[in-house]
Amino acid sequence: MKGKYKFNYKTGKEFCSSKCENDETSKKAICFEKGIKECHSCSFKGSTKDEKGKDSEALCKIACKSINDKKCDFYAYLDDDRKVINKRLLNRFGRIFVKNFIKKMK
């Protein structure tokens, strides 16, 4: 992908809801939507045979999550290394809350 894709909140939500679906077999993650929720990664709905399809599959897994098996959306979440993804989204929840949450999990 080499950094050729960029999302803001609106385009991220549109991409996740239209091109991705819940992948229940994926590892659980921690997402933020009106509090802390468990979520799953998503997978691409279309064909992954060409380069664009492979990129879309990677983007769905990285950027899109599903809470309670609902449709995929562009949430703020923590990855396996306890790094915050989508920091701009987390500004809506407050950085102090997130920092305290990460400290408690270590």
Beta bridge partners of 22: 42
pTM of the model: 0.76
pLDDT of residue 94: 67
Q: Per-residue pLDDT for 1 more than 60?
A: no
State how many domains the chain has. 1
- Residue 21 lies inside a defined structural domain of this protein: yes
Q: Look at residues 99, 68, 73, 63 and name the one whose alpha carbon lies nearest to residue 17.
A: 73
Query: Helix or strand or coil: residue 38?
Result: strand
pLDDT tens figures, 44-99: 998 888 888 888 998 898 889 999 888 999 988 887 777 888 777 777 666 666 77
pLDDT of residue 34: 82
- Residue 43 lies inside a defined structural domain of this protein: yes
| φ, ψ dihedrals at 23, nearest 5° | -115, 95
- Residue 4 lies inside a defined structural domain of this protein: no
Element spanning 91, H or E: none
pLDDT tens figures, 28-47: 888 988 888 999 999 999 88
- Residue 93 lies inside a defined structural domain of this protein: yes
Token pair 């809350």 in the structure block, residue? 97
- Residue 2 lies inside a defined structural domain of this protein: no
